[in-house]
Amino acid sequence: MARLPFFLLTLGLILALQSPAHAATELAPIGSGSVRYLGLIKVYDATLYAPLQSSETAILGAEQSICLQLDYAVDVPSSAFIEAAETILARQHEPDVLTRVRPQIDVIHGSYRDVGDGDSYRLCYDDTSGRSRLALNDEILATVDSAEFAAIYFGIWLSPDQPLDESLRDDLFAGLKQEINK
């Protein structure tokens, strides 16, 4: 009989650790914004999740866990994701840098699917494992192990050096406490 309370306690802890409430205490929304085509047609809303005490430096250096969620308002073919990512990565990084993470980039790009209104992509990086995970509507499509990949790929949206959209970048970082330059 002593085993039953232990089992229930263990089960309760496991369920609590897997619950959305527990996940929300680890990563919280830091900022959000929208991407619009020609400034008019909303393509997607983006939300950046990170620990509340995050810094821009830690996020950009893949020193903290983060998630970027993209909630789509229009149909977008997978080829458009790949073309846009490759264009931005090429303008942000030297070829030798991209060559180092090319296998991880290819895994993510090979996993993209066409999306429509109401679909959500979620790209998450776990700083403890060094693993990034891409999910579409909560279905995990790809997992890659590389902190360097995370720093480079999240830079598509978050880098101060020619991100996808500077206004979106500012909106995603809006909730961070300002870093004091010493």
Query: Is the residue at 10 inside a domain?
Result: no
Q: How many domains does the chain have?
A: 1
Domain boundaries, position 141: 26-172
User: What predicted TM-score, i.e. pTM, was given to this entire model?
Assistant: 0.81
How far apart, in Å, are the Cα atoms of 118 and each of 29, 80, 111, 149?
19, 17, 19, 28
Question: For residue 16, is it within any domain?
Answer: no
Q: What is the mean pLDDT of each run of 10 residues along the chain (182 residues)?
A: 40 36 66 90 95 90 95 96 96 96 97 97 96 97 96 96 94 77 40
63 belongs to a structural domain: yes
Is 137 contained in some domain? yes
What pLDDT shows up at residue 69? 98
Q: Of 29, 154, 9, 8, nearest to 92 (Cα)?
A: 154
CB of 28 closer than 8 Å to CB of 69: no
Q: 10-25, pLDDT tens digit by residue?
A: 333 333 333 343 343 4
- Whether 115 maps to a domain, the answer reads yes
Q: What is the CATH number of the domain that holds 143?
A: 3.50.70.10
pLDDT of residue 7: 37
